[in-house]
Amino acid sequence: MALTINTTPANISNSGAWNVTTSLVEDATHVNLRIRADVKVSAVTKATAEKPKGLPDFDFFDILKTLVPGLSFARNGGALYNVSGGSPLIAYTVTFTEVWEDAGGSTQTGTPTNSGTKSFVPAKGDGTAFTNYVGTGTGSKFACLTLPAGACKFYSSNPSEMWIVFFTESTSLELFYSKDGGAYDHATHITASAGWVVLILNPTGSGMMNGVTSNLRIQMGILGGAKISEVITILVDNTVMDHREVLEFDGLIGGKEYLAFEGMKHKQFDTVRNYISGAKLNRKPLSFTGIQRQSLATRYPDIYNADQLKALLISETVKKMEPSYATPTDVTVTTEGIKTASSDLFTNQIDIEYEY
């Protein structure tokens, strides 16, 4: 008898789907034959699932999603936000075991089969698209839709940070970058021991955007070896703005996305009121709650960031990143639909609300 793992997710994947079969045949001494799957993180069993023989497909997406710790943020030396802990993925293994009852009704088990370590990212994109964001070659993209080459802009008049998240099976990396069309520097080396990297681009101190006046080009490579990402160009925009809002939300392909809104805005304060009836049926206040509502729009045509806006509308967690507060503000996106394509350039209005 033997267990066979027929299909598995990639080493870094947004899929939790497995296909496992057994050659063991159910008979008088092998009753209620089934396959047990134990999902383990750091050798600790986090979940167990069983299926009878003949149902070979296991999908652990929902289980694994609950195990991803996520990223947390903290103040850091004048920059808006920085990583203080967490991860956008979880390393796990699955142990598959045959289980049955013998003729006397006692539970028996076969020899466990260990799957080896995999890394799961709770991305909403399909598996084919996700593979483009795992660094393997010059066609691989950074796992962040905030930076489509030439479309994303860094505003020098109100500088903040840009985040670039990507996934890689390589451990020792080097970052190639070119400021304002100059020669590429690759003195910055990165260790990606956990299978992922977040690059934070800012203009403060020795930040990579420091001194950049027109554009920054970046590309990732294996230390002393081949390139594993596309080249991304980030443009500098010197437009002066009196205000900007940055929303953080769950990315379609893992990690966090950031979208800056510098366009027209409208703020409105509403109250949600509850009353009780007095003795003469007049209304008397029971509770008042203040709600802040705000409309946001980007300065550049949304034809460049329609995928980001789709991710924003279906994100489970959205935060408003405000430099004047120590922690972000939890907001709810109330916009239900957006334009994603048109023969003309277009912008969308995004409405949010949050507690006052």
CB distance 140 to 181 below 8 Å = no
For residues 315-333, give the mean pLDDT.
80
In sequence order, what are the residues at sequence separation of 6 or more whose Cβ sits closer than 8 angstroms to the Cβ of residue 281? Answer: none
Percent of the chain with pLDDT over 70: 89
The residue among 54, 44, 52, 49 whose CA lies nearest residue 16 is 49
Of 287 and 93, the structure prediction assigns the larger pLDDT to: 93
Instruction: Tell how strand 318-321 and strand 329-333 pair up.
Output: antiparallel
- Per-residue pLDDT tens digits for 152-180: 677 776 556 677 778 899 999 999 999 99
CB distance 135 to 168 below 8 Å = yes
Of 241 and 294, the structure prediction assigns the larger pLDDT to: 294
Tell me where in the chain the CATH 2.60.40 domain(s) lie: 3-122, 123-240
Of 41 and 149, the structure prediction assigns the larger pLDDT to: 41
pLDDT at 78 over 90: no
pLDDT at 280 over 60: yes
For residues 14-20, give the mean pLDDT.
94
> Given its phi and psi angles, is residue 223 left (phi above 0), alpha (psi -120 to 50 degrees) or beta?
beta
pLDDT at 242 over 90: no
| pTM reported for the whole predicted model | 0.76
Beta bridge partners of 32: none
- The token pair at 222 is 């294996």
Task: Report pLDDT for 29.
Answer: 93
- The token pair at 55 is 């149902």
How confident is residue 352, by pLDDT bands cut at 50, 70 and 90?
very high
How confident is residue 84, by pLDDT bands cut at 50, 70 and 90?
low
Of 316 and 242, the structure prediction assigns the larger pLDDT to: 316
Task: Report pLDDT for 174.
Answer: 94
pLDDT at 80 over 50: no
Give the distance from CA 354 to its chain's centroid: 22
Q: Among 2.60.120, 2.40.400, 2.60.40, 1.10.3470, name the CATH number for the domain at 123-240.
A: 2.60.40
Query: Which strand (E) or helix (H) includes residue 287?
Result: strand 283-296
CB distance 91 to 118 below 8 Å = yes
Task: Report pLDDT for 79.
Answer: 42
The residue among 193, 155, 139, 200 whose CA lies nearest residue 175 is 200
Of 19 and 141, the structure prediction assigns the larger pLDDT to: 19
Distances (CA, A) of 85 to 13, 19, 321, 334: 21, 34, 18, 30
Q: Among 2.60.40, 2.50.20, 1.10.3470, 1.10.10, name the CATH number for the domain at 3-122.
A: 2.60.40
The residue among 343, 332, 330, 340 whose CA lies nearest residue 309 is 340
Of 279 and 37, the structure prediction assigns the larger pLDDT to: 37
List the alpha helices (DSSP H) in the chain: 61-67, 127-130, 306-313
- Alpha-carbon distance 234 to 279, whole Å? 66
